[in-house]
Homo-oligomer: A and B are copies of this chain.
C-alpha cells in the first residue's frame, strides 16, 4: 500500500469509465437503423468523436463561448453529416442521436470499483460532460457520486487548470489531497501540473490497437482497472 494519501478521487468519464465508441455506435444504429440507414456504425462513432478536440479548442481559446457538452456534441454531429450522407435528417432526429452520449455503458470493473473506492474517498466525475449527461450515465450504470464536478462548474473544458482546481476547491481540499484518474496521459499531465495526484487506468478497448496501455508520463499509480486501483490504494 502506497504512502500517498488522498481524500478525493476525480474521474475522467469518456473512455475511462464508459465505452463511448461501441455505445454511440449501438445507439446511432438504434436511432437511424429503423429509418433505413446502414452506416459503418463504429466509423460513425469515431468520426463524431474526432470532432471533439477541435470543438473544445474553440471554447478553450475563447473563440466560442462555453456551452454544455450536449450542445457541443450536437454541433460536432452537424459537421460530419455530409460524410455519412445524413444531411436530410431533421432536428428531432439529430437531437435524439445526440442523446446517444447519455446512454453509454460503463466498463465492467467500473460499478464495483466505484462502490469500493467510495468507502474510503470522496468521488466525483471531473469530465468535460455537463451535469445532466453525467447524471444519466450515473443512473444507467449505478455510480454513486458525492458531487458532479467538471466543465459545468468551471465553464470551460479540460485540460484548462480551472477544471482541476475548481474540483478540489468544491470539496474544500487542496489539489494535493485529490487524485485524477484517467486513461489519457494528457489529462493526467494537466492534473499533475495543477498539483493533483494521478492514476492511469488502461482502457485498451477504447480504441483497440491505438489506445495507450501504459501512461506516457510519470504517474503516481498505473492500474488495469478501478478494482486494481482500489487495491493499490488500500480501499
| Chain B, Cβ-Cβ closest to A131 | B170
Of A10-18, A57-65, A108-116, A138-146, the one touching chain B? A138-146
Evaluate contact between B147 and A135: CB separation under 8 angstroms.
yes
Contact with B along A166-186 (1 / 0, CB 8 A): 000011110000000000000
Q: Would you call A122 an interface residue if the criterion is a C-beta within 8 Å of the partner chain's C-beta atoms?
A: yes
Residues of A in contact (CB 8 Å), total: 21
Given A70-B172, A152-B170, A153-B153, A139 and B131 touching (CB < 8 A)? no
What 1/0 mask marks residues of chain A from 116 to 131 whose CB sits below 8 Å from any chain B CB? 0000001000000011
Say whether, besides A70-B172, A153-B153, A172-B70, A135 and B122 are in contact (CB < 8 Å): yes
Report if A229 contacts B (CB, 8 A): no
**Alpha-carbon distance A147/B132, docked complex (angstroms):** 9
Inter-subunit contact B171/A131 (CB<8 Å) = yes
Residues of B within 8 A of A188 (CB): none
User: Contact check: which of B122, B132, B171 meets A170 at CB < 8 Å?
Assistant: B132
Task: Please report A residues at the B interface, Cβ cutoff 8 Å.
Answer: 68, 70, 122, 130-132, 134-135, 138-139, 144, 146-149, 152-153, 170-173
